[in-house]
């Protein structure tokens, strides 16, 4: 079943509107390795690499959503905090539609990555760089 696209439209004072989500950004120690993981695990489409202010960007696309995967900028290297793949405040996880939840979970387990919880057609799993990922299989 194809992924269901979600568009968020937020109206602010004065009628300005956000018309969608432009991207999600992941900071990684090795952006090429992390991008390859997203490509191998989910069939993400690789996009053109680029350098921005001294950081390597290796973006991928899944279902029309760009995931910018970058190294820290040189001035950020000494101040990068640890990631947190557990439940927490702030941007807590990225949710992905999948065709076969059992198959996806098997791929995570084969890599020694944690499956934090599973309930019916939903599971929360650990991705690289301490990213929490929700996998959602549409009802059949």
Query: Do 77 and 135 belong together in one domain?
Result: no
Domain count, the chain: 2
Q: How far apart (Å, rounded) are the C-alpha atoms in residues 115 and 126?
A: 6
Nearest to 63 by CA among 93, 25, 110, 96: 96
Six token digits for residue 56: 């390597």
pLDDT in tens, the chain (140 residues): 344 444 444 444 555 777 788 899 999 999 999 999 999 999 999 999 999 999 999 999 999 999 999 999 999 999 999 888 888 888 899 999 999 999 999 999 999 999 999 999 999 999 999 999 999 998 76
Query: Do 16 and 64 belong together in one domain?
Result: yes
Domain that holds residue 34: 1-81
Q: Are strands 55-57 and 50-52 parallel, antiparallel or unpaired?
A: antiparallel
pTM over 0.75: yes
Predicted confidence at residue 19, as pLDDT, reads 78
Query: Do 104 and 72 belong together in one domain?
Result: no
Q: How far apart (Å, rounded) are the C-alpha atoms in residues 105 and 87?
A: 19
Query: Do 23 and 89 belong together in one domain?
Result: no
């Amino acid at each position: 079943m194809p992924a269901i696209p979600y568009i968020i439209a937020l109206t602010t004072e004065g009628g300005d509107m956000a018309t969608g989500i432009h991207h999600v950004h992941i900071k990684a120690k090795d952006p090429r390795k992390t991008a390859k993981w997203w490509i191998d695990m989910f069939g993400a489409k690789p996009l053109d690499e680029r350098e921005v202010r001294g950081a390597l960007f290796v973006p991928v696309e899944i279902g029309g959503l760009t995931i910018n995967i970058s190294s820290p900028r040189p001035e950020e290297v000494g101040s990068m905090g640890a990631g947190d793949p557990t439940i927490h405040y702030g941007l807590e996880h990225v949710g992905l539609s999948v065709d076969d939840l059992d198959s996806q979970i098997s791929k995570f387990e084969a890599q020694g990555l944690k499956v934090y919880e599973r309930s019916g057609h939903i599971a929360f799993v650990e991705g690289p760089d301490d990213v929490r990922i929700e996998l959602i299989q549409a009802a059949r």
